[in-house]
Amino acid sequence: MKRFHVHVSVKDLQDGVRFYSAMFGQQPTVLKDDYAKWMLDDPRVNFAISNRSAKTGVDHLGIQVESAEELTGVEADLHRASDAVLAQPETACCYAQSNKYWVQDPAGIAWEAFHTLGSVPVFGADQTSNDTPAKAACCAPVLGKASCC
């Protein structure tokens, strides 16, 4: 079963955690110094916030799947939607190891499709600080002409 994913960049993580915990009626499933995630069942969404981006607001959207087979189906959909699909196999991002595919919609919004394989102790393998020069949407590779991915 698929789960909708939203990642929002916030200025103050503690304020964001307070607000979204009250709004969702539960504490985050994952809470780090720079990241928080709620795995909600009603609505079925993986909602994450972080303070690692230079800009605030919606960082990227996505579809999380539960199996490699399901990810293959979503990947096919992405290829039908865009000629520029970028694969990130076994990547470390947002304290998780995942197989991912990224596209950019016509408005420049980054979309990821991913299957989580397990957790990792770091935010991302290729990002070690808040001032990474080529920072894109949370762990998103830079694609196309937009600055986010």
Structure tokens belonging to residue 88: 């990130």
What pTM was computed for the model? 0.72
Domain assignment present for 126: no
Structural domain total, the chain = 1
Domain assignment present for 144: no
Q: Give me the domain span that covers residue 27.
A: 3-119
Domain assignment present for 91: yes
Edge to edge, what strands does the sheet with 57-65 contain?
Answer: 30-31, 35-41, 44-50, 3-9, 57-65, 110-119, 96-104, 86-93
Q: Which region among 14-18, 79-83, 108-112, 124-128 has the lowest average model confidence (pLDDT)?
A: 124-128
Q: Render pLDDT for 6-50 as a digit per residue (tens, 0 to 9).
A: 999 999 999 999 999 998 999 999 999 999 999 999 889 999 999
Domain assignment present for 135: no
CATH number at residue 114: 3.10.180.10
Q: What is the DSSP string of 108-145?
A: S-EEEEEEEEEE-SSSBTTB-STT-TT--STTPPP-SS
